[in-house]
Amino acid sequence: MNILLVTPYRGAAYENVGIRVPPLGLLYIGSALKQTGHDVQVDLSEDKNSLPDFSDADAVGITCTTIQFKPGLKIARAAKEAGKIVIMGGPHPTSSADEVLQSGVVDYVVRSEGEATAVELFDGFRKNGRFDPGKILGLSWVDKSSGRVVHNPSRPFIQKLDDLPYPLRKNNEFNYQNLGVDGNVSPTMITTRGCPYGCKFCDVKLLAGRRFRERSIKNAVGEMEHLVSEYGATRIRIVDDIVNFDAGRIMDLCNEILRRRLPLTLWIMGRADHLVKNPETAEKMAEAGVRTMFLGVESPHKRILKAYLKGGKSSSEVSAQAVELLRKNGIEAFCGFILGDPTETREEIEQTIEYAKFLNPGTAQFSILTPYPGTETWGELKDWLVTRDWNQYDGLHAVFQGDHVTPEELEGLCRKAYRSFYLQPKRVARELFGSGAPGRPNIKIISKIMRAVKDIYRQGPKEEIIC
């Protein structure tokens, strides 16, 4: 079959700073489908104002986060009107399959990990539609005879990750491009799937499960070498949720990178408590080329971390130790902070902002707590929502009413956090002539971030896309 895979517009938060991050899940599915003989085209333009060209496609597959859902429906409607089979997958369809299918413009929803489900589904299509969709695990669909939405049993998560082909990064006229806020092309990849922790604002356990699953070191570093040789990659973002969950494995991964002498600058994600528990990993990561590590700090307040079910040994002290450990080894910390737990006071949010300035990581990301469908936070806050306009679910707009801070006040505090952190005189002076080293924005990038934040809050409801 001729298949077009699409990722819709991500909203102003990405658009305004020029970030392009092709979703690996979609690229893995594309590769799996191509491996089984399908002709796969990919459109990752994320264009807000125009539709993909699906004139030659038999079927259109669309991946959606929550903020991409309404733009995704716009694409789905046009594809359906053109007589195409329409499939959706990704975070929002996985958690909200009923909503997706009741739109009337989507035929099937592929839930959670989609490689095997998509292959089975398209193999069914190749049989001229003479197949029973009820037998495909991980699929949701509409029974045409009854009009009832059917959710097939979930598909077990893939255990042998080495069996998966590399993501589809180049195909016909499609050539993978991943642009960060610094304008550099940095291909993304994963070496593991799943997260054993249960942070209640996160949907990873729904999408990838809580069991930590690993690719072999040989397979993972082999992909890095492939990215160097085939794409000339010099920077790679490893977007595992907790790459340092297993200290022995991260040491082995780094040693294999060093053994192969790969000239890479690496960006990784992990947990502060694991880093502090195994300080030797910081030195080894730096030796292997790690220059930036994302840490989900979230908050300095013990009660807030407990409310988030952050787990482990998370605390303000541990986060401070982790940032300092990275700094001593020449690795910039990229710290994420969440503002607006429903019980959080203005004073506590202000303290979080000051704590971020105290930590002084190379990069700080401030997000407003957002109850995404499928998370525990959604279950707790769905009755307190002030909007269900999915275009506002970008982590920068307040979508529920808290106990102490209004949505308008919370958005003002988020904007203040960015101004207060990035416009510190010492930081501006240091970066005025900076080169924009990995993990440390120079003055041009800081200006881009500040303009983006200003534009996002100025736009307000204008961001809504009517389908």
pLDDT of residue 178: 62
Q: What are phi and psi of 111, to 5 degrees?
A: -95, 145
For 381-402, what is each residue's pLDDT tens digit? 999 999 999 999 999 999 999 9
For 407, the token pair is 């949505």
- What integer pLDDT is reported at residue 466 of this predicted model? 32
pLDDT for 46 equals 82
Q: What pLDDT score does 384 carry?
A: 95
pLDDT for the residue numbered 19: 67
31 and 166 Cβ atoms separated by less than 8 Å: yes
| Low-confidence stretches of the chain (pLDDT beneath 50) | 461-467
Please state, in angstroms and rounded to a whole number, the distance separating the CA atoms of residues 414 and 246.
34
Domain annotation for the chain: domains and CATH numbers? 2-151 (3.40.50.2300), 178-463 (3.80.30.20)
Radius of gyration, CA atoms only, the chain: 22
> CB under 8 Å, gap of 24 or more: what pairs does 252-255 form?
252/217, 253/191, 253/217, 253/220, 253/221, 253/288, 254/281, 254/284, 254/285, 254/287, 254/288, 254/290, 255/284, 255/288
Which residues, 6+ apart, have CB-to-CB distance to 44 below 8 Å?
A: 6, 7, 20, 22, 26, 174, 177
Distance CA 70, CA 77 (A): 11
Copy the structure tokens of residue 439.
């993990």
DSSP character at residue 424:
-
- CA 325 to the chain's CA centroid: 26
Measured CA to CA, the distance from residue 328 to residue 330 in angstroms comes to 6
pTM value is 0.92
Question: Rounded to whole angstroms, how far apart are CA atoms 410 and 398?
Answer: 7
pLDDT in tens, 229-287: 988 889 999 999 999 999 999 999 999 999 999 999 999 999 999 999 999 999 999 99
